[in-house]
A and B are shown apart, each in its own frame.
Chain A
Amino acid sequence: MLAEQKIDPKLVACPECDLLNHLPDLSVGESANCVRCEAVLAKNVENAIDRSMALTWTAVILFAIANLFPFLSFGKGSIVTHTKLISGVMGFYQEGMYFLSAVVGFTTLVVPITLITGLVYLLLPLQSGLRMPGAEHVFRWMLHIRQWNMTEIFVIGIVVAGIKLYKMATLEPGISAVALLLLMFVFTLISASLDARMIFEKLADAREVKL
């Protein structure tokens, strides 16, 4: 049985079909796929840590702008409503729609904030070969919740709502709409530049910071 021997570190079980694959040495820009089900097993992104960290700082700024300013303003004459990210959560809450309020709050505020904070906690020390306490657990939870980050879907929601409403009254997009649109791309780029396996390997090699 293989289990009795020392497990080859280059051996990996495909997370989607369980086949044991031998990971080849990847040069920059290459990725390895499962030979049976074609799932991505690993990828080698150039300067993955520095690149992700730079993208994360961009996300911090964009997310702050997106929350501080309205993304749409709508109204007729003297009655004008400005909507921020938090407005929908508040609106549902005041109507007694607590479930919708919680879901929208979770997917557009709590999860993005958690992911961005987690990325800083993870990547900033990793840039100098260090690791914060519990970093691997933080990263594991980030991987579990990332599908609940719905920023990009919210952006499309803004576009659809905008087209629905522009005939009814004056509709103006705010600076936050631009920030959200850029944030959508930044999140996609972060996902593309972070390989879970690579991060866990770097974390294992890093020196733990004693607090």
Chain B
Amino acid sequence: MALTAKEAGLVGCTVCGLLAPVAKSEGEQHCERCGEKLHTRHPDSIQRTWALLIAAIIFYIPANLMPITLTTALGNTQGDTIMEGVIYFMYHGEWPIGLVIFIASIFVPICKIAAMIYLLISVQRQSDQQRLNRAKIYRIVELVGRWSMIDIFVVTIMVALVQLGFLASVQAGSGAIFFCAVVIITMFAAESFDPRLIWDKQSNDD
């Protein structure tokens, strides 16, 4: 019988789980139990997610080209990009730190953007392949994306902590602003994507 709520003329609240019949009247429908806006599918999910992803990709460029920290030591100021930071630690034998920053700041954002593009395109092509795997990919993206904030918090702590006057001081560079924006925008992108679309328009023999 495997019926979806949509097929049954129902809409499930994504917050509290309560089922309601789809309202026949126009306008917003709210969940009776928790007050959440009800939508059979997130409105304009595909377009919104694409728009946010493209914004994230654009911001990702200055995030990597501009310094995320400015270190002043003995009167000289030096800017370091994310990748320069990673290389510095690899080179100085602190490879676990280099690896953590590489994974959180370069590997995760790129994989996340690539995964979201794959999910969007496969939904737009109404693909019926790999549905369960795609659902799992979405779950991982939602779970892991926020961890890219590590580097921003490292910069936060460095800025607050390294204030030794003339000896050494650290400031945030403009790359940090763009990188932080990338993390936030991709989090919104993951939220605006409706995973229920992965399962829609299933072939009849399923």
Contact = CB atoms under 8 A, between A and B. Distances in A.
A200 B33 contact: yes
Contact of A15 (B17, B96, B131, B168): B17
Contact of A92 (B20, B35, B150, B156): B156
B14 A204 contact: no
Given A76-B167, A157-B154, A164-B154, A136 B159 contact: no
Nearest to A139: B34
A79, A91, A148 pick with most chain B CB within 10 angstroms: A91
- What size tier do the contact residues of chain A reach? 35 or more
Among A74, A99, A160, A204, residue most surrounded by chain B Cβ atoms (within 10 Å): A160
A211 interface: no
Contacts of B101: 160
Contact of A19 (B4, B162, B184): B4
Contacts of B4: 13, 17-20
Given A147-B187, A161-B154, A153 B8 contact: no
Interface in B71-104: 89, 94, 96-97, 100-101
Interface size class of B (residues with CB under 8 A): 35 or more
A210 interface: no
Interface string A30-41: 000001111101
Contacts of A137: 34-35
A110 interface: no
B115 interface: no
Interface in B136-156: 136, 138-139, 142, 146-147, 149-156
Contacts of A76: 164, 167
Given A3-B8, A37-B135, A140 B16 contact: yes
B199 to A, nearest CB: 4
Most buried by B among A18, A19, A83: A18
Interface stretch (A100-108, A124-132, A181-189): A100-108
A11 B176 CA distance: 47
A49 interface: no
A90 B172 CA distance: 13
Contact of A103 (B15, B150, B152, B163): B152
Contacts of B149: 107, 150, 153, 157
Interface in B2-54: 2-6, 8-12, 14-22, 33-36, 40
A136 B18 CA distance: 13
| Most chain A CB neighbours (cut-off 10 Å) among B94, B96, B159, B177 | B159
B161 A13 contact: no
B152 to A, nearest CB: 7
B168 A168 contact: yes
Contact of A2 (B10, B132, B187): B10
A25 to B, nearest CB: 16
Nearest to B138: A16
B150 A157 contact: yes
Given A12-B17, A150-B149, A161-B153, 9 more contacts: A1-B9, A16-B135, A17-B199, A18-B40, A74-B161, A79-B164, A81-B160, A160-B101, A164-B158
Interface of B: 2-6, 8-12, 14-22, 33-36, 40, 89, 94, 96-97, 100-101, 131-132, 135-136, 138-139, 142, 146-147, 149-165, 167-168, 171-172, 176-177, 180-181, 184, 187, 195-196, 198-200
25 contacts: A2-B3, A3-B10, A13-B5, A13-B11, A17-B195, A19-B2, A19-B4, A20-B4, A20-B5, A37-B135, A38-B132, A74-B161, A74-B162, A76-B164, A88-B159, A91-B160, A95-B171, A100-B152, A140-B16, A153-B153, A158-B153, A160-B100, A161-B161, A163-B96, A197-B17
